[in-house]
Chain A
Amino acid sequence: MIKKHYSSNSRKALNVIWNAAGDYDFDPPFLAFYSNGHPDFYFNVIIGLTKKWLDIDKITAFIDSYSYASASDEYDEYVWLALESCLYDKEIGSRPALSDLRKAHAEEFFRIQQSLSKQQMELMSMPVYTQQQARWSAVTGRKMPLMSPKEHKIYEALMFPSELDTDVLIQRLSEFLKEYFRFDPEASDKEAGRHKTGLFKKLWGRHKYAQIKNTGHLIVRTGTGDGDPANAVLLKQENGFNRTAGDDAEARAYIESCFGKSLYPEAELSNIESVLCSGDDIDCKLWFAEDKSSHKHTPTSPDVPAQNENRTESARSVENKSPDKTDPCDYSSLQLSKQALREISNAKSSVNEQRSKNIDYFRKHSMQINESIRKLSSELETVISSYLKHLPEPSERGILDTKKIYRLAVLGDQKVFLREGDEAENNLSLTILLDASQSRMNSQELIASEAYTLSESFVKAGISVQILSFRSIKGYTVLSRLKSFEDKRSDGVFGYFAAGWNRDALALKACGHMISDIQKKEHDRQHILLVLTDASPNDSVPLAPKPGEKRPGNYEGLTPVENAREAVEELRKSGIKTAAVFHGSTAHLENAYRIYGKEYIRIRSLAQLAGGIIDLMQSVLRENVPE
């Protein structure tokens, strides 16, 4: 079952319903809450029992049938009292605890009524209140309220017995509404000309019931629950792409002012471009930068300190090989038009705003995130340690170390045997590469929190982590480092924002280059690259024209996917274990498979991240067991 992203209270309510129903494979059309937002335990059990004992779809359809009536809220309360009576009797034989739950609910009813203000009492429907009071008084053994003869008849009529099946029960409910309220659901529906059918009726119903009802006892219809994370923003291709030398200079200045100085000196950057910007990427440029957007921010939460506080000296110094270390935000020396400067200023404000949103999202889900980190890091430790080589250590038993046997005779040292020690040779590193193109704009907060969760989990498991983001703007594919290996904490990732295009193949090649810099220094280090992507490469810089073609093709469709696949293949050949976390439209799922093969997982929510990553890591590490 696909899990939608519910609040924790909703998920609690759902679990009670599913448990009572004995079925987790349905989406309950109702959830019960008190007006303070807490789930109503007993009535969620009743909703679950509706599924267990009756046809919940027919019950829902009946409730929908009078939803247009002005008194529909009141009718709902009567209907649920009737259902409660019937379902309680059906279930009590097999669930004796239901009696205590019913009493507890009844006591809660009276406790809430005592706390209501006079105004709140006036807002209530007194006929409904009387019936509820009567029902719960009988349950708790309290004195029954004073009722008129009609009210008494309604009270008796709502005591639906257990032997009713769905059709008879609905028939009785219909008769009840007709007799006591002169309301015929089918007749009034048609008369009003609002006998909607099919999809429109469902949508209308959802619209109407996606509100919280303000009564002491809430039955709330669930909304549409749009859990589709795709929300892919289609990037419109520019018509044609022509670049002049002047454009080049301005684009370069623009990129530098947006993202900061290049990590590589000019000459080295040129060399890198000459190697990597080939084939379909021949018209492209590269930029490698350190994300400094968080440096000027004061901490907004004790959990998320400013990046500066957590950087080691080496991280602060940055692997910036540029000789010019002036304030990275001082772009007055760069020749940019006023419009460009204005654009950049606005963009920086938006980036700051996005950072705040990322942090707010993190705070809102911090319990879930911290729990995921705790669980994931513990499981990662187990998985990873099973693939690491354990260093041998001297012992009093094991395999005889003949080189040391003399110590036995001469020194009486019995530790002349070797056995696998506890210490493992941890030579794993992880790079998390985030697609930061505009197609991700509806998932920015989620992606930042996902990356944070992953990074912290791996760090806690003893793996060093860096986080990079990539996007393409003005012909430049820019890799920004949000967290370096030396950074102790991962909150730099909250500087993540989505903008621009995504030229996946070139980004992967550029990332591979950054990793190879490390591999040159640390030969034994094994590297894992984890790409968070929607597997939908798209760029304004077109593909190189094919032989015989006059016009270049747009960078979209199958060719960029194939280019990305080749880039991943090259990475894997160079020893970088590459895998992906796919979070996007089902339409692009095939792309994810083409590019990454089996080494990817699909997730739709943060809750699925931990479990998916463990499976993925086992698969990735198993493919390349250390010798």
Chain B
Amino acid sequence: MLSKLGILFIIGTLFTSLSIIFLTFKELKVIDNLIPSKIYKFSLFQLFFSISSFFVLLLAYILSDFSLVNVYENSHSNKPLFYKISGTWGNHEGSLLLWINILVLFSSLFLFLTKNSDKSFKILTLLFQNLLIITFLIFLLTNSNPFSELFPVPLEGLGLNPILQDPALAIHPPLLYIGFVGSSIYFSAALAALISKIDSQSFAISIKSWVLVSWFFQTVGILVGSIWAYYELGWGGYWFWDPVENSSLMPWFVMTALLHSILVLERRIGLYSWVIVLSILTFTMSVTGTFLVRSGILNSVHTFASDPSRGLFILSFLVIMVFSSIFIFFKFSPKENKKYSVFSKEAFIIANNWFMIFFLGVVLIGTLYPVLLDTITGSKISVGPPYYNLILAPFLIPLLFLMTSGPNYKWISNEVRSLFNLVLVLSVTLFLITFFLIKEKNFLINLILFFSIYLITQTLFDFYESFKKKNINISRIISHLGFGLLIFFIYINHIFSVENNFNLKLGETKKTDYYTIKFVNLEEQSIKNYKSIIGYFNVSNKKNFTSKELRPEIRVYDKPFTITYEASINSNLFSDTYLTMSNISDTDVFNIKFQVKPFMNLIWLSVLLLSLGGVLNFFKRKKYEKN
């Protein structure tokens, strides 16, 4: 029943999308300034159909309707409701349906919310967006149909993998999808702008909100994803330079570059072609990332069951997309007016863009190199985190410096500013205090710490200044402050992280440099569908004589047989104490991983601050538009 209904709604979406393509194509030849109401109606229907199809799948998951292969393979009637719901997008087919929903949603929102814009630009954007929708609908129907039926209907589903039942894992995919699928709308808009030849300023204004929205969701999605890795994977790290993480970071770099260069374009200073290239690149990177993850040529902790035919489809789509973009770009390349000068805001923004593109290149090479080498020479390699850390770290220094001084320059000016001022003196003092507190010897790390402190002080100072003058560019200040704090805390965390691996028996005590860990008690409990072995540990700090109790768990599930290690984390604003225990081959020896990680919560908060800047900018624009 639900299966047929779902397919019906999908066909409905397909039909309306085709109609929109047909109508917009016809409208291209009509020279007037009115978009016919038919297009608006079809767009509404399209939105209705696609959202309904998603709700049908959601309902099938909630009701545990195992007549759908998808539900049968990924759900179980004993699953908590929350995980039944998140199961909808936790698999390839369901997530594809979510993709299509976001494509459709952005298509309609663009149509209804973009006002006072050139008609042919709007129509063409809609046309390109619907071409994307159609392609993905065909992919869904022919290769990855979430509504495939199963007969006879099984009584129970298969999916109850406890590792995958985690709130952060459940919510981060939709956030990321809104981020990088959302970038499709400015991909379509960029192609439309080329063909319709609209002026650079109105293009910049019409895509800015979309860039902000997708950038915000991408940032938060990456944040939640790394929180999941930190709490659930049990390794105590939060970023592993894993291919999937990389493929969410790559579009983020381009979005960040785009966010900045739009500011230049908005003021008719230049960069039109560049903004268009970036708009195209963002969605291209998103699709490339999806290809790498779903085709199975790279595999990572975030496993999607993969299938070469899917890879082939996404690759063909990518090829068509990239080559038609290149073709359109060179055929209709826009006229530039270049007005920028060396010591001006725009020059700093261009520098920011270079850094973002460089970071993108580094991550892209690191991710693709194993694939290329494997194909060409057959040797199997993996690129470890040292590669990324070694290359990216030195470049943080100039980036931080540019972020510090850049924003205070004026547009189109050539006035050189003196670098010596109160803020610099203050920053040097603060840095020296930090240096004597932490006594870090590595020169590079000290430089990074200094420049992040400089950025933080300068931004706070800017905040005070602009508050006095009452023209607050609060969003920039918040975001840059967040970035400065992020880098600062990441490095402080890096310096002060303690990790100890050792084996303990019940009742024994282990002494490390600063901590004493006592294995106090061991308890066994039977809970609903698993057996839990809980260790009681007493961790006392030798310096300040505080002690904490930590209770790591080993859970043994029987359906399917799975062992999970639940880390016990004692977390406060300044430091996380992290303990995992595991047992090797049923002896009475337990293997303990003990970690102290300072400022974890402040790292999360910094990223939140960074993304908050995006939200503020979005609402500031809305207010600005109204006035």
Q: Do A and B bind each other?
A: no
